[in-house]
Structure 1
Amino acid sequence: MTNAKLGEALRLLGVGEPAVRVYLALLDLAPAPLDAIGEATGLGGEEFAAAYGELADAGLAGTAAEGADGVAPVPPAAGLEILARHRAAELEASRLAVGGAFESFRRRRLAAYDAPLVEVVTGEAVGPRLRQAWASAREQIRQFESPPYFPTPGATDDALATLARGVTQRVIYSRESLEYPGRLSEAIEPAGEAGEQARVLPSVPVKLVIIDEAYALVSLSIREADVHHTMLVVQPCGLLSALVALFEESWRSALPFHGRTTRPGGLPPADRRLLWLLAGGASDEAVARELGISRRTLFRRLQILMARLGAANRFQLALQAQRAGWL
């Protein structure tokens, strides 16, 4: 190891510049009397004494031989090993001290400011908080969507504006969402046409909106009153991680829903919409209502589709429609 590299290594390990000069002089001249080493370094008496004392304390210098009037360096490899161990011990002690101090700070901060991991929003504050959440999204929104719905004017416009900003929206709708009067044509299909990724489950476990990785909104519904007037805002914690995992697991098992998406295959858009509604689990009544036709007309169109695909029942119809690229 050259003197320059050795000096840099010593400085990185916490040895002061005067002590580095003394150690390098020891390597060049030792064994030698202390006075000779001091003269070689050009350091004053007190400064030299302090520098040599630093080396001795670090285990890098000692007497040349027992009873001899002279000093010598500890070999560089051994000396650096000693310093490295001391430095590692100091770093570990510092890590523990900093970690303990931060934990103490965190406890004091939570106690002082009562910073909750879950915030409760109620009443008329729910709607504005939902709109604020959509506006704050930067990368991704994940959502479980199901009735009952809070009356939030402009909610569909907010969702479309978020999609236009390039924010990914993945939504899992419950079957009830498809059957809810006007929801399909007024909210679900416009969002799908704007780029929303939608899937369907027979039911969703909770009404949920996850904004990026920042926080989640969980609605507490009162089904009998057909409103939801209480919402939880969950900050980053184990509960938020659990909600994200719940969504991702549900997304994997949900059925893709494309609404009015058109694909090659010669199927009229109205019939494709009919098939998607049935595949999503909507009832015959809900399908007829959304299509604006009677149940008798619905059954007649189903029979035409079944005959076209050679299906004897609805299960075979769904299977053949998927094979034909209609679903």
Structure 2
Amino acid sequence: MMRTNVAAALRRLGIGDAATRVYVELLERSPAPLDVIGKAVSLSGERLLSVYGELVDAGLAGAAAGVRDLVAPVPPAAALQVLRRHRAAELDEFGIAVTGAFDTFRRARLAAHRTDVVELVTGEEIGPRVRQAWHSAELRIRQFDSPPYFPLSEGGGDALATLRRGVVQRVVYSRASLEVPGNLVRNIEPCLAAGEQARVLPSLPVKLLIIDDAYALVSLSIQEAEVHNTMLVVQPCGLFSALVALFEQTWQNALPFHGHVPRPHRLVPADRRLLALLAAGVPDEEIARNLRISRRTLSRRVETHMNRLGATTRFQMALQAQRRGWL
């Protein structure tokens, strides 16, 4: 039974019949001269040396330790592990070769069909393409919002119209978005009131608009000059999948932002609004201007809330407020 099991295992791992017979014979007779083993399996001369060489190359046999002119097998457990590792390495090499061949084939096909997965849009063409993107959304929009902004005449009108059509809208705002004078009240909070899901981070890696699972708009802006002059339109491809993954990961890491949306709680609306702005990282000057209070009054109210929540930092205060359902 042992001979049968070992022989079957060796054959499955790619060892030929003659080499398998030599190995099994070695298990029973070793250490022994190679010609004795060959006689037992009806092999001799060059043929015997070739078959024995196959076992040596596979790590299954070799010279007997301390005994001259005798050969011995590697114990089956160790031998099969070695052979399995060899086969795994061969499969890895085969996989790399196949993948390379497929990549070459795919590039050739793409070149042959002139498939444009990335389109470059510049200058005055950018505005109409952005408007078209908002109007074409059917199921959902995912967005990274950060200045500088496209010079669109209706501001947040496209976003509101899209929300009214029932399109799910998730937006991650950068802190800079909330610092643009008037942007919070004029554009962001109306969208929040209409059902937009919003989160905020101190900064964003790129300006991004993903329309359904159809395509994405990536803005290449010059932040320092506050200029938008180039945009990429990315069709479904590896880059598109990476952009979707980037959005989802960023969304998970961002802090929920509710703006001035009324939420049932014992807090008065002014305090709830104050905490929401603080949690979003809006600067004190902008908060005071939005709430129409002085910086001194703002500092007193912040200190009051920190004491009430047992927080020593504003970040802790934001977390505690969120946990209590104040945001």
Using a 3 Å threshold, how does the CA distance of structure 1 residues 129 and 198 change in structure 2: closer, same or farther?
same
CA displacement 1:281-325 (0-9 Å, x = unmatched): 222122223323221121122233334445454344334423432
C-alpha distance in structure 2 between counterparts of 1:144 and 1:104, whole Å: 34
For 2:146, the aligned partner's letter is S
Using a 3 Å threshold, how does the CA distance of structure 1 residues 123 and 315 change in structure 2: closer, same or farther?
closer
C-alpha distance in structure 1 between counterparts of 2:231 and 2:203, whole Å: 19
Q: How far is the alpha carbon of 1:156 from its aligned partner? A: 0.9
C-alpha distance in structure 2 between counterparts of 1:264 and 1:130, whole Å: 36
Which stretches in structure 2 are left out of the alignment for 5+ residues? 1-104
SS of aligned partner of 1:155: coil
Equivalent residues in 2 for 1:160-309, closer than 5 Å: 160-309=160-309
8 Å CA contact retained: 1:215, 1:236: yes
In structure 1, the residue matched to 2:321 is 321
C-alpha distance in structure 2 between counterparts of 1:217 and 1:243, whole Å: 10
Q: How far is the alpha carbon of 1:191 from its aligned partner? A: 0.4
Equivalent residues in 2 for 1:26-175, closer than 5 Å: 107-110=111-114, 115-175=115-175
C-alpha distance in structure 2 between counterparts of 1:124 and 1:139, whole Å: 28
SS of aligned partner of 1:181: coil
C-alpha distance in structure 1 between counterparts of 2:170 and 2:154, whole Å: 19
Using a 3 Å threshold, how does the CA distance of structure 1 residues 103 and 239 change in structure 2: closer, same or farther?
closer
8 Å CA contact retained: 1:131, 1:155: no
C-alpha distance in structure 2 between counterparts of 1:320 and 1:164, whole Å: 33
C-alpha distance in structure 1 between counterparts of 2:205 and 2:313, whole Å: 31
Using a 3 Å threshold, how does the CA distance of structure 1 residues 288 and 116 change in structure 2: closer, same or farther?
same
Q: Given the two structures, how large is their TM-score scaled by the length of structure 2?
A: 0.64
C-alpha distance in structure 2 between counterparts of 1:233 and 1:151, whole Å: 18
Which stretches in structure 1 are left out of the alignment for 5+ residues? 1-100
Using a 3 Å threshold, how does the CA distance of structure 1 residues 253 and 145 change in structure 2: closer, same or farther?
same
CA displacement 1:210-256 (0-9 Å, x = unmatched): 00111100001112221212111111111001000100111111111
Q: Given the two structures, how large is their TM-score scaled by the length of structure 1?
A: 0.64
SS of aligned partner of 2:256: strand
8 Å CA contact retained: 2:278, 2:314: no
In structure 1, the residue matched to 2:100 is none
C-alpha distance in structure 2 between counterparts of 1:141 and 1:304, whole Å: 39
Paired residues in the alignment total 223
C-alpha distance in structure 1 between counterparts of 2:269 and 2:224, whole Å: 36
C-alpha distance in structure 1 between counterparts of 2:292 and 2:245, whole Å: 38
For 1:141, the aligned partner's letter is I
In structure 2, the residue matched to 1:50 is none
For 1:136, the aligned partner's letter is S
Using a 3 Å threshold, how does the CA distance of structure 1 residues 104 and 308 change in structure 2: closer, same or farther?
closer
Q: CA RMSD in A?
A: 2.2
Using a 3 Å threshold, how does the CA distance of structure 1 residues 208 and 104 change in structure 2: closer, same or farther?
closer
C-alpha distance in structure 1 between counterparts of 2:107 and 2:300, whole Å: 69
8 Å CA contact retained: 1:265, 1:324: no
Using a 3 Å threshold, how does the CA distance of structure 1 residues 219 and 316 change in structure 2: closer, same or farther?
closer
8 Å CA contact retained: 2:178, 2:282: yes
SS of aligned partner of 1:220: strand
